[in-house]
Amino acid sequence: ENERTLAIVKPDGISGNYTSSIRKVILESGFSIQREVTVQLNEDSVRSFYAEHSTKSFFPNLVKYMTSGPVLIMVLQKVSAIADWRALIGPTDARKAKITHPDSIRAMCGQDLERNCVHGSDSRESASREISFFFTDTFSEGTTLKH
Ligand code: CMP
């Protein structure tokens, strides 16, 4: 079944110049990129986007990291987009990914558990929330970015 998922190339992915390699992997894996926009997120946007992690000890660092530079936000579409994008990016901890999933995107461009260079929605519910967090109406002309 066709699905959409939200992908983010995080600040370390952008500053490390991994954007074109990541886009190549995305297209070669059969995803279509329905929307893509580069933005500088502010602290309030990051706090709200990652609200489910607000009580975690790593939250302040996550906010610093995600506001440290521009991010590339993409809406990806294909059959089983959510699970397939998660499989392609690999485990959250990029350091582990380099060992257990050496062909994954996080193995390619991530550094550790926090600085893992990309994000992917983890469920249908998250994908729907995350896509509408950034895009008012993702699939009509004149889309406006909310954050
Ligand atoms: P992401 O998949 O975007 O979702 C939450 C982010 O928080 C995660 O990637 C990492 O960037 C970061 N994160 C998750 N767990 C930890 C952790 N235990 N310590 C530090 N950062 C984390």
ipTM (interface pTM): 0.94
Please identify, by atom number, the ligand 1 atom nearest to the C-alpha of residue 120. 2
pLDDT bin (cut points 50, 70, 90) of residue 141 is: low
pLDDT of residue 21: 98
Ligand 1 centre to CA of 62 (Å) is 7
Ligand 1 centre to CA of 140 (Å) is 32
Nearest to 2 by CA among 146, 144, 147, 139: 139
pLDDT of residue 139: 55
Beta-bridge mates of residue 145:
135
For residue 33, the 8-state DSSP code is E
**pLDDT tens per residue across span 51-96:** 999 999 999 999 999 999 999 999 999 999 999 999 999 999 999 9
pLDDT of residue 80: 98
Q: What is the domain class of 2-134 according to CATH?
A: alpha beta
Rama region for 49: left / alpha / beta (φ>0; ψ in -120 to 50; rest): alpha
Q: Which residues are catalytic?
A: 119
Report whether pLDDT(143) > 90.
no
Q: Please tell me the pTM assigned to this model.
A: 0.93
Question: What average pLDDT does the chain have?
Answer: 95
